[in-house]
Amino acid sequence: MVLVKILGLIDLFASLAFLSIIFSIGLPIQVILFLGATLFVKGLFILTGDLLSVIDLLSAVVLLISIFFTPALFFLWTLSLLLMSKGAASFL
């Protein structure tokens, strides 16, 4: 039960990272790399049949791409809201 809350907290932090990219608030590269790596590892749960892990994999790729250039705002907003909803649902 605690693990679900920790993984949800990672989703919320990644959502905040996407929002900071949207609003041009600079994040250290180490934070982006850490969140991208943890989302990638969380995304590997797709191998167990969890289909929502596709969101984690896609978010990890977009976070790592955002180091070099800013992706389209549509993707950033969509992924931010999806991660926020996944993170909030883990606390219910």
Locate the domains of the chain by residue range.
Answer: 2-87
pLDDT over 90 (residue 91): yes
Mean pLDDT of 21-35: 95
pLDDT of amino acid 46: 86
This prediction's pTM:
0.92
Percent of the chain whose pLDDT exceeds 70: 100
CA distance 45 to 22: 28
Condensed to tens digits (0 to 9), the pLDDT of residues 30-60 reads 999 999 999 999 999 888 888 889 999 999 9
Greater pLDDT, 50 or 89: 89
Percent of the chain whose pLDDT exceeds 90: 87
For the chain, give the mean pLDDT.
Answer: 94
pLDDT of amino acid 49: 85
